[in-house]
Amino acid sequence: MKLASRLDHIAPFQVMAILAKARALEAAGRDIIHLEVGEPDFATPAPIVAAGQRALAEGHTFYTAAEGLIELRMALAQWYRQRYDVAVSPERIIVTTGASSALQLALGLLVEPGSEVLLADPTYPCNRHFVSLFGGTPVALPVGPDTRYQPSAAQVATAWCERTVALMLASPGNPTGTLLPSDTLAELVTLCREKGGALIVDEIYHGLTYGVDAETALRQADDAFVINSFSKYFQMTGWRLGWLVVPEGWQEPAIRLAQNLFLCPPAPAQQAALAAFEPATLAILEERRAEFARRRDFLLSALPALGWKLPLVPEGAFYLYADVSAVTDDSFAYCQRALDEVGVAITPGVDFGEYGAKRHVRVAYTTGVARLAEAVERLATLRG
Amino acid sequence: MKLASRLDHIAPFQVMAILAKARALEAAGRDIIHLEVGEPDFATPAPIVAAGQRALAEGHTFYTAAEGLIELRMALAQWYRQRYDVAVSPERIIVTTGASSALQLALGLLVEPGSEVLLADPTYPCNRHFVSLFGGTPVALPVGPDTRYQPSAAQVATAWCERTVALMLASPGNPTGTLLPSDTLAELVTLCREKGGALIVDEIYHGLTYGVDAETALRQADDAFVINSFSKYFQMTGWRLGWLVVPEGWQEPAIRLAQNLFLCPPAPAQQAALAAFEPATLAILEERRAEFARRRDFLLSALPALGWKLPLVPEGAFYLYADVSAVTDDSFAYCQRALDEVGVAITPGVDFGEYGAKRHVRVAYTTGVARLAEAVERLATLRG
């Protein structure tokens, strides 16, 4: 028996190896500060948990429609009206098993063997793997702080070829936390339409922006594929629940593909998520958002003392993407040393692409300020 | 924007269209007897639900490892020892988001563009779509009652070619409910090994067999890929939880692919499933299994009066696959009439393949004997 060759192109997340090593060190008695994993440190808000428990008591343990509960799709449509003042029909919203399934669904609808999909480098590593899964080729667009780590219209226009079927964006991005500027989005929307390609926008960190609210791409592009999730802002990571907004006319094939790939998203999670938009839940989430903002601001002020360069203030997510070239020429080895020598777990740039990867690390501020301060103190002892 | 051509090859489940129409008729006041959907009519047993509620109260709402909780993998290994007297190391068990993800994972590990995978016709429709998803070609092996609707070794040997990478089996099968005879399995195991191909066995209806216990293919083939699920016997359909047993040496790529495709299976479902093997749960499940047996036996005695042919007694699942050629030459039209005229929802053979599809329907006995009896009475008025 022979392993399929697609596995040659799917690298393991280094962050998972670091997490495993961190846990092994902890099991051996070491105190490790976790700044590596892309998951809020807050458990799911109590009103959502209570709704999940109630739904279980009421016997909501059966399959749902492949596209999700109509009540939840209507609640999401209402959320777009209320939060973004944008009209999205519930029929265009497909509830999925986390953003992972939403991403697979969008690319399964668009990518042919031989297709090319343009995406930023650095970016979330699974994006390029999902493109490869369907026989497509991910084409990396190197991005830096000059464009807030987002592709420019000129860059996309140059990279676009006859095999290109889609451009993928993320706002806020992972690992950089930056928003796509509104005027850049406008240019990219126009460009995708002119080229006859699809625009896919990952908005899973919406809600987790500081001092500014993110706009959905749907405001400018009703024909975009928008991926979102209950994982990050709503802090429902383990429940596995997300959604995909498809352009008008794409519902039928999207639901047909979802039916075959997933049957349906988890029913208890869907029932629980109905409580996600209640005022009591949103009050909790907004408090936590303020806490993330405090953490970001603390790190932005503290990390430069380590010699780390943070060329801009990222508006969102819970990541800082730091240039550590002043302290190392190999960020992967540096991350290993940080874990081994001072018990601080951070993620090397190599998890997110190739461009500048050895010069960068990602810090996830998914622990409180006191621990962040201790992490900075410990990392200071690594210098030189 | 152009829809990917894979969607041309993915037919909608007719059963879903029938379900939707049945619900519309119900909304209009009609009484519909549902014999179409492949889902137990029992809610998840109370001890599993209680475990899920407790886990939520305790804050188990975070990501787990991609391969699932080690406690659950150990419980499954213990289940193989206890129920089948077979040793399976927990390391070989990957917990998945339902059998759908287990199936995608197994085929993602094995199928290259251009590969061929052999499978029975009729069979579960998603099987061939997952093969196509990865650029492979599903090759149908027409099966009938003479081989208990299972492929024979001679048939597999004839169909095997240099592009063949795997044989997929299901025992009990869907839509036929039949077990693979142990001696046939032995021949097929030998054949797959000789050919250097993989054997994939769907065992998701294990536990739901009547008067006989199914043997796992792992007893004869430690190198098989075995798919199973908490959906059917454990009645956790909506929770989306299954598992894949991989051969020794395949764990690392399996976990790597699972990480990228799914991140992890739902955490609340995994916590709940820890209670699936408790004596109190098993007592409930065994009572329900006896109830399914009563339903099967009732239909086996009642359906022949309709002119439906049931050439064998299927050992398991909750399906009968009936030859209705004495009453129609188009089972699809017959299913439409059954729903429209007498309010009985059944699934046409076309959902499961091409071979004999127009002569067959699938009946799911996922409702009580009184309703089954009424369904038979109603269908009797359709004759002639």
A2 CB neighbours in chain B (<8 A) are: 110, 165, 196
B56 CB-side CA count, 13 A: 29
Dihedral over Cα of B214, B219, B221, B226: its sign: positive
Distance CA A204, CA A37 (A): 15
Q: What are phi and psi of B38, to 5 degrees?
A: -85, 60
Distance CA A276, CA A46 (A): 10
pLDDT digits (tens, 9 = 90+) for A122-158: 999 889 999 998 999 999 999 999 999 999 999 999 9
B125 CB neighbours in chain A (<8 A) are: 260
* Per-residue model confidence as pLDDT tens for chain A (384 residues): 889 988 888 887 778 788 888 989 999 999 999 999 899 999 999 999 999 999 999 999 999 999 999 999 999 999 999 999 999 999 999 999 999 999 999 999 999 999 999 999 999 988 999 999 899 999 999 999 999 999 999 999 999 999 999 999 999 999 999 999 999 999 999 999 999 999 999 999 999 999 999 999 999 999 999 999 999 999 999 999 999 999 999 999 999 999 999 999 999 999 999 999 999 999 999 999 999 999 999 999 999 999 999 999 999 999 999 999 999 999 999 999 999 999 999 999 999 999 999 999 999 999 999 999 999 999 999 965
A123 CB neighbours in chain B (<8 A) are: none
For residue B191 the two structure tokens come to: 């054949």
Distance CA A359, CA A330 (A): 7
Distance CA B227, CA B105 (A): 10
A9 and A341 Cβ atoms separated by less than 8 Å = no
How far from the centroid of its chain's Cα atoms is residue A79's Cα?
A: 19
Distance CA B337, CA B21 (A): 12
Among B104, B238, B250, beta carbon nearest to A61: B238
Q: Please tell me the distance in Å from B24's CA to the nearest CA on chain A.
A: 14
Report the pLDDT value the prediction gives residue B1, as an integer from 0 to 100. Answer: 85
Q: Provide Rg for chain B, Cα atoms.
A: 21
Report the pLDDT value the prediction gives residue A357, as an integer from 0 to 100. Answer: 96
Beta strands in B21-163 (DSSP E): 33-34, 93-96, 116-121, 137-142
- Domain spanning A5-44+280-380: CATH 3.90.1150.10: yes
Single-letter amino acid code for the residue at A334 = Y
Question: CB A256 to CB B49 under 8 A?
Answer: no
Position with higher pLDDT, B384 vs B68: B68
- Residues B164-203 as b/e (b if ≥16 CB within 10 A, e otherwise) read bbbbbbbbbbbbbbbbbeeebbeebbebbeebebbbbbbb
What 3-state class would DSSP assign to B45?
Answer: coil
Question: CB A108 to CB B56 under 8 A?
Answer: no
For residue B28 the two structure tokens come to: 């209009």
A108 CB neighbours in chain B (<8 A) are: 4, 6, 133
Local structure of residue B358 (DSSP, 8 states): G
Residue B366 clears pLDDT 60, i.e. is over it? yes
For residue A245 the two structure tokens come to: 């907004």
Question: CB A240 to CB B238 under 8 A?
Answer: no
What 3-state class would DSSP assign to A132?
Answer: helix
Bridge-based pairing state of the strands B360-364 and B347-348: antiparallel
The CA-atom distances, in angstroms, between B6 and each of A108, A240, A259, A319, B337 are 8, 26, 14, 37, 32
Local structure of residue A21 (DSSP, 8 states): H
A165 CB neighbours in chain B (<8 A) are: 1-2
Report the pLDDT value the prediction gives residue B383, as an integer from 0 to 100. Answer: 63
* Lowest-confidence region among A267-276, B8-17, B197-206, B223-232: B8-17
For residue A146 the two structure tokens come to: 């000059």
Question: CB A267 to CB B197 under 8 A?
Answer: no
Q: Provide Rg for chain A, Cα atoms.
A: 21
Q: Please tell me the distance in Å from A342's CA to the nearest CA on chain B.
A: 25
Distance CA B251, CA A119 (A): 30
Among B97, B111, B126, beta carbon nearest to A260: B126
Distance CA B308, CA B328 (A): 10
ipTM of the prediction: 0.95
Q: Which residues contact A31 (CB under 8 A, 6 or more apart)?
A: A343
CATH number of A46-276: 3.40.640.10
Angle at A174 between CA A172 and CA A176, to 5 degrees: 80
Distance CA B167, CA B131 (A): 11
Single-letter amino acid code for the residue at B127 = N
For residue B145 the two structure tokens come to: 């009652």
Residue B217's pLDDT band (boundaries 50, 70, 90)? very high
Residue B223's pLDDT band (boundaries 50, 70, 90)? very high
* Mean pLDDT (chain B, rounded): 96
Domain extents for chain A?
5-44+280-380, 46-276
